Amino acid sequence: MPIIVNLDVMMARRKISAGELADRVRITPANLSILKNNKARAVRFSTLEALCRELDCQPADLLEYREEE
Amino acid sequence: MWNKDKSLLLSRIAVGIFMAIGVFWVVAAPTLTKIFLDFSRASMAGLTRQQAILCFLSTQYLSLIPAGILLWNLHRLLQRIGKSEVFVRENERALRRISWCCMVEAVICILSCLYYLPFLFVSVAAGFMALIVRVIKNVFTEAIALKDENDFTI
């Protein structure tokens, strides 16, 4: 998929663990892992909103479009 | 009170009964064929009694192979549904196999029309059943895609 989720980068910048973020965003660690590993097919606005709120960032910091080779 | 568990149990019992009938048929087919030929007044396309017995037994034993595969797949399908694994790829494959088994039955019966025309009715019924199961399989394919989409929407 050409949409890349840079969640791990933002998490490293904010020094927050996956478990803690999952807890704050109120999603399961398994779902956070799916998101982090680019396995997700879609992201709900409510999830994106919670991620932006907890990581203090913009949606563009989390999502990136990369042309497929 | 009737519920989905009881309904599933009824389906599993029905499959078990058909499996038992299948096993009984393997053993009793020669005797049943002879009894049928003694009482039937249907024309056998000029076959002798021995030839007619051979033809009927060939049809029955050939039909029992796809019927066995079909019942086994139905049994596995119901087992998975019992474990709440409904819209999974394995069920889609099972339905495809069941549909093909019905189609094979239809072909066997249509070939058997060469010596006994009433097999045409069985053939049409089996072919129609294959079509219905195929459509259900197509519905399952779409449902699995939707479930995947939903499972991976975070």
Between B14 and A69, the higher pLDDT residue: B14
Q: Which domain holds residue B119?
A: 4-151
Q: Which domain holds residue A60?
A: 3-65
Contact B152 A43 (CB under 8 A): no
List residues bridging with B39 in a β-sheet.
none
ipTM over 0.85: no
- Cβ contacts of A39 on chain B, cutoff 8 Å: 152
Contact B152 A27 (CB under 8 A): no
| Per-residue pLDDT, B78 | 95
| Per-residue pLDDT, B45 | 65
| Per-residue pLDDT, B96 | 97
- Measured CA to CA, the distance from residue B81 to residue B76 in angstroms comes to 9
Number of domains composing chain B? 1
CATH number of the structural domain spanning residue A23: 1.10.260.40
When pLDDT is averaged across residues A42-65 and rounded to a whole number, the result is 92
- Cβ contacts of B153 on chain A, cutoff 8 Å: 40-44
- Cβ contacts of A51 on chain B, cutoff 8 Å: none
Angle, CA of B48, B65 and B85, to the nearest 5°: 155
Whether B145 has its CB under 8 Å from any CB of chain A: the answer is no
Whether B148 has its CB under 8 Å from any CB of chain A: the answer is yes
Neighbouring residues of A39: CB distance < 8 A, sequence distance ≥ 6: B152
- Measured CA to CA, the distance from residue A44 to residue A11 in angstroms comes to 19
- Cβ contacts of B154 on chain A, cutoff 8 Å: 27, 31-32, 34-35, 40, 42-44, 47
Chain A nearest CA to B135, separation (Å) = 27
- Measured CA to CA, the distance from residue B147 to residue B141 in angstroms comes to 10
- Whether residue A68 is predicted with pLDDT greater than 80 in this model: the reply is no
List residues bridging with A3 in a β-sheet.
A65
Any idea what DSSP says for residue A3?
E
Chain B nearest CA to A65, separation (Å) = 18
Number of domains composing chain A? 1
Per-residue pLDDT of chain B (154 residues; tens, 9 = 90+): 888 889 999 999 999 999 999 999 999 999 999 998 888 766 666 778 888 899 999 999 999 999 999 999 999 999 999 998 999 999 999 999 999 999 999 999 999 998 888 999 999 999 999 999 999 999 999 999 999 888 888 8
Whether B147 has its CB under 8 Å from any CB of chain A: the answer is no
Chain A nearest CA to B154, separation (Å) = 5
When pLDDT is averaged across residues A48-68 and rounded to a whole number, the result is 91
